[in-house]
Structure 1
């Protein structure tokens, strides 16, 4: 089968961004978690927060490095596969990505060394500030990326110059785009929830194994209580994102809903199999009136269907339709686990609820799956536009690009990413299996001297460190 360079370029970009987003979705929240632990230790003086912070710092360092390495490829693709996009949108996208370097990367570069190697070299308050600055840096990075992506989703503050080049005329409208302020919190909360469930799953794992039970109990209770607050906020901002899609990208909204005909009132399709060739849904299960209520907060509103748009302006239906439902399902599962865990933790019953511990342990992928399917919904639903309503994806690809060229680079990226991911995942697994440094007994000896603490071969009573080259 002859696959076009456009399709291969889209597949390559989808592959690299899907791989890359896993790590920021983890490290943005993990940086905030480290800051929170340092703050708790600074205020209470309890040694357990220091042990947990040292432990999660090792995980953060590896995941942060993997995120940086996997993200480098993204910039190259704009030149190799999407040069026409770069030429036409460069006056806007170039400065936005530059702002990320001047703010986010500068903060991370300035304070990451203190975070990694300054524990015993600077005062505790200074170390806390370093954690805070790294957290701010990771959040700023997400902000500028969301500003850039949101401009592509809903372009503002530009004029069309010669040869179809987008010329910025109002940077305030570009950066302070109203859509940014629902999409950015939605993404940040997704990262926090993802990290919270990774921490909770790790705590549940330790409690099930019987090793590091004290640390596991603290991680489990703190993470689930935090998630019990964050998940409802995330769902609330998700609804606001849906409102913007409903008002500004009606074709995407119709695809997400699987709605082919205009309906008044509109039903909500819970599950179906969209058939684009027949312009109909198979095996649909729907609830009357609910579609109007979700779309317009009314029981009688008219909701637009895909047939109201020309076929060449409709997005693919199957991916955003199914991806959105997977995302919502993951969110509801996380909400149930978080609320049940917060309730159990109030009565100190987490340790006895082994079935719940297993459910929490197995829930660690939910945040990653929800984040990925959310991005699939947003990006596939935007098609056929790369800059919504202004520039088609087919017109943004590099001219004269050939299928063998893209296929070769895609194969190389897949092999390299698989290698990086395998080693990174194995290292993180080893660190998770080793666990936090054990608390010393009153005599100053580790309570579990047989348990290894790090891959550096440190002794059980010594602090686990990241040595050069690890």
Structure 2
């Protein structure tokens, strides 16, 4: 199929399915924690705008959660269908870690999700808040086990190989492998950032179209504060993660930097800002570089040296072209996130943030930036690990099942068509929900509910069937709180 080998098609298929899947858990993690904050603020202050925002985002959370579960099931089956030799070799480690996710995270989420979504008028405030908190905790626990498994594949330890199979010898070493803490924090913060950017973009869109009320303003400022505080922290986490990667996966760092050969002693390593790593010529073409900055970033010294790609045999090098540009995509978007947060707070201080159309458009454009950055970071991590599926232990070529090109090409084409149809529809529906915006004073009228009274159902589909009267009410400007 188009000149691809069976191994390449299997990798593309897994990359395609996980690229769809990773979007939904990331937003689920961020939205679940955001809902905890909203409900806590409502319980503490009694201000109805927090409750209105909770009802609005809980519907979006429910749809996103469902798509995450469905896409995750498909991805899990591929371990048995396309990567059976990997499962046979390392299943004694990855299998239990995924089982722990089910026994902990899924039980938490399944046990409390129904209470969170449908128990608003059926249980007390304390119990409902606990249910929301448990769902949020479940999303983080799920991420913990998934990243423990994937991090072990990046930096394996706590095992021995017996009769051609991995045998666990120290579960604490397996779980808390060298890259795990950095990757867990980096991914969790990325999920919070992606959600904040989504929330901020939705608020900016409503403000730009003239829907200016207390709930929209509160949503916008919460997002801007989150981005302004967390984006710089994420940059520092990324720096620490990079140093950890330099220690344990030097070939990946060399590919990220497009660094092929060592310079003269004391010269230092330049930072290549732009360029095109050419795998055949073993050089980065058309490069624009800053002298010694690579050494400063990677070794925190002016003349520190880092491994070069030519230090590794050609068969042991990752694809530097992909890794180089995916890494720069992630870093570039991170810098734009910092710019968004800082400029937003500056405009808020000047009192013009609500009506500055250029800034609002910037916030809307940055809406998907967190998701794109997560995907770029994932490509950097996974492509940079190649040609190993378990770094330094098992090659990806030895892990793939023995399927033919025709079978893999056909299933990949089916995946593309079905995923675009199913998840494209789901994403379109999510955007439709966001477009409607929060219903102001949702609990203030008998027909929409309040304490002890029925209100708009929490079912996600109900949000798409509101009357024009509700739309008009939602878009009516109110005076109000601008924090």
Fold-level similarity (TM above 0.5): yes
Could you list the structure 1 runs, at least 4 aligned residues long, displaced by more than 6 angstroms after superposition: 440-446
Structure 1 unaligned residues grouped into runs of 5+: 447-451, 465-470
- SS for the counterpart of 1:274 is strand
Q: Which residue number in structure 1 is paired with residue 452 of structure 2?
A: none
In structure 2, what is the Cα distance between the partners aligned to 1:440 and 1:236?
A: 41
Change (3 A) 1:112 1:459: farther
Decide which of 314, 320, 331 is 2:317's aligned counterpart.
314
Q: Distance in 1 between matches of 2:443 and 2:98?
A: 51
The alpha-carbon distance between structure 1 residues 210 and 116, as it changes in their structure 2 partners (threshold 3 A), is same
**What is the correspondence of 1:330-409 to structure 2 with a 5 Å cutoff?**
330-399=333-402, 401-409=403-411
Residue by residue over 1:354-376, the C-alpha shift from the partner in whole angstroms, topping out at 9 and shown as x without a partner, is: 21111111110110111000000
Report the CA distance shift for 1:459/1:171 in structure 2 as closer, same or farther (over 3 A): same
Take 1:443 and 1:306, find their aligned partners in 2: how far apart are those partners?
66
Cα deviation for residue 390 of structure 1 reads 0.4
Aligned to 1:107: 108
Which residue of structure 2 lines up, in the alignment, with residue 77 of structure 1?
A: 78
List per-residue Cα deviations over 1:184-216 (Å, max 9, x = no partner): 000000000000010011111111111253221
Higher relative contact order (CA 8 A, sep 6+): 2
**How far off its partner does 1:24 sit?**
1.1
Moved more, 209-218 or 116-125: 209-218
The 8 Å contact of residues 436 and 453 in structure 1, kept in 2 or not, is answered as no
User: The residue matched to 2:464 in structure 1 has which SS?
Assistant: coil
Report the Cα offset of residue 89 of structure 1.
0.3
SS at 1:368's partner residue?
helix
How far apart, CA to CA, are the structure 1 residues paired with 2:436 and 2:228? 28
Distance (whole Å) between structure 2 residues aligned to residue 443 and residue 248 of structure 1: 60
- Aligned-residue offset at 1:8: 0.6
In the superposition, the TM-score normalised over structure 2's length comes to 0.91
Which ranges in structure 2 are unaligned for 5 or more consecutive residues? 449-460, 474-483
Corresponding residue number in structure 2 for 1:449: none
Which moved further from structure 2: 108-117 or 432-441?
432-441
Q: 1:100 to 1:441 in 2, by over 3 A?
A: closer
Counterpart Cα distance in 2 of 1:442 and 1:114: 22
Aligned residue pairs total 456
In the alignment, is residue 296 of structure 1 matched against residue 305 of structure 2?
Answer: no
Give, in angstroms, the shift of residue 167 of structure 1.
0.5
Q: Distance in 2 between matches of 1:45 and 1:343?
A: 29
CA-to-aligned-CA distance 1:27-64 (integer Å, 9 cap, x gap): 11011111110000010000000100000011111111
Q: Distance in 2 between matches of 1:430 and 1:308?
A: 52
Q: CA RMSD in A?
A: 2.0
Calculate the TM-score normalised by the size of structure 1.
0.94
Counterparts of 1:69 and 1:420, CA distance in 2:
10
Question: Would you say the 8 A contact 2:52–2:442 is kept in 1?
Answer: no
Per-residue deviation, 1:117 = 0.3
Q: What's the counterpart of residue 468 of structure 1?
A: none
Query: Separation in 2 of the partners of 1:457 and 1:353?
Result: 30
Q: Per-residue deviation at 1:283?
A: 1.1
Q: State the secondary structure of the residue aligned to 2:280.
A: coil
